[in-house]
Amino acid sequence: MADSVFKNVDSAPPIQVFQLTKLFTDSTDPKKVNLGVGAYRTEEGKPWVLPVVHTAELQMANDLTLNHEYLPVAGLPDFRIAATQLLLGSNHTVIAENKVESFQALGGTGALRLGAAFLKNVMNFNVVYVSDPTWENHKGVFQAAGFSDVRLYRYWDSESRGLNFRGMCEDLSNAPENAVIILHGVAHNPTGIDPTKEQWEAIANICKEKKLFVFLDCAYQGFASGNLDEDGWASRYFADQDLDLFVAQSFSKNFGLYNERTGNLVVISRDPKKLTEVRSQMEIQIRIMWSNPPNHGARIVTTVLKNSAYFEEWKGQILIMADRIKKMRQELLDNLKKLGTPGNWDHITKQIGMFSYTGLTEKQVEYLKSKSIYLLSSGRISMCGLTSKNVEYVAKTIDEAIRAYPRSVL
């Protein structure tokens, strides 16, 4: 048989978060816990279809006016409008002054990729800064779009397990003009540490003074604090600052639409007259990437956001998810304190959102995995994987790992 054209193709390294899910699924240990998955789980450890999402889907299924025709290239118009108003607030100045445009995308990742393609192919930008650490996909998305200069700005202070604000500001201040700065709009992934409002103001000032291009990644609006307005504060503040900027918006977490790939790229322009040209160029980028966006998830979101009763119901269900995560943070901390686990663990409840950056070392992580507790090698855990039934076991195993593999600072 002739050699395959693929004979020199090597195996790529596994995608860690999905590899963890496979290890969890394959495990026969009754005590197994998946702390890697970036998706909400109930107290029983099960996926949750939001009741309001189910209601919207039933309504859509019985609406004989709906069809499966192509959407406009930019996406479902009602979705784009409703999503943008949710992000910025319906009365925001940039909306009133027609300084905003939006484009439906394939989840938050698709919004980032679309924005990156525009910035590289149309604007000829080539330098992008991401936080250290950041969501594992940020670097790859921008590199795939053609960015060859991906840099880090300091963010996590391992000693205090908080924000290295001084280091962050120094690095942004030294960034070149037109560098793209990826900022996490709320619930930083993986650290769960966000700047204060005063710190956000200082960051915005640096971006303005240094003429940096801000690209906010807003994947957790409502999911972090349980309050849509509070979680949208940073995005709204930056939109107030007379800046050109992008915001990548995702509905995977706050609607539980993980596999529907429902996202939105919000574009804010200081000059509203230029948005016509921006839209024309953005649609070219869309055409060569996914050509036309999917309808189902966008229609669900639109149905909920445009119906006042559904909207109020949805806000209540967001609060249920956010409150359970906060409860698990507190229970984990309480159990570690009860065990007298070496070190200060208060950062677990100071962090917000889905993830906690525990500070565990790779050896300690490996110990947890040997006990069928699956988490990323960085020590990041998804609080959604904890339940009242398994949190004591997880805390006990963390305590064992700390004592078995101590380090000087924990």
Q: List the catalytic residues.
A: 135, 217, 253
Beta bridge partners of 132: 154
Q: Can you tell me the distance from the alpha carbon of 129 to that of 215, in angstroms, rounded to the nearest whole number? A: 10
With beta carbons less than 8 A apart as the criterion, state whether 219 and 252 touch: yes
Q: Can you tell me the distance from the alpha carbon of 319 to that of 324, in angstroms, rounded to the nearest whole number? A: 8
Would you call 366 helix, strand, or coil by DSSP? helix
CA geometry: angle 56, 52, 256, nearest 5 deg: 100
Q: Can you tell me the distance from the alpha carbon of 34 to that of 45, in angstroms, rounded to the nearest whole number? A: 9
Length of the chain: 410
With beta carbons less than 8 A apart as the criterion, state whether 204 and 238 touch: yes
Q: Can you tell me the distance from the alpha carbon of 349 to that of 368, in angstroms, rounded to the nearest whole number? A: 21
Establish how many alpha carbons lie within 13 A of residue 7's alpha carbon, considering only the half-sphere containing its beta carbon.
5
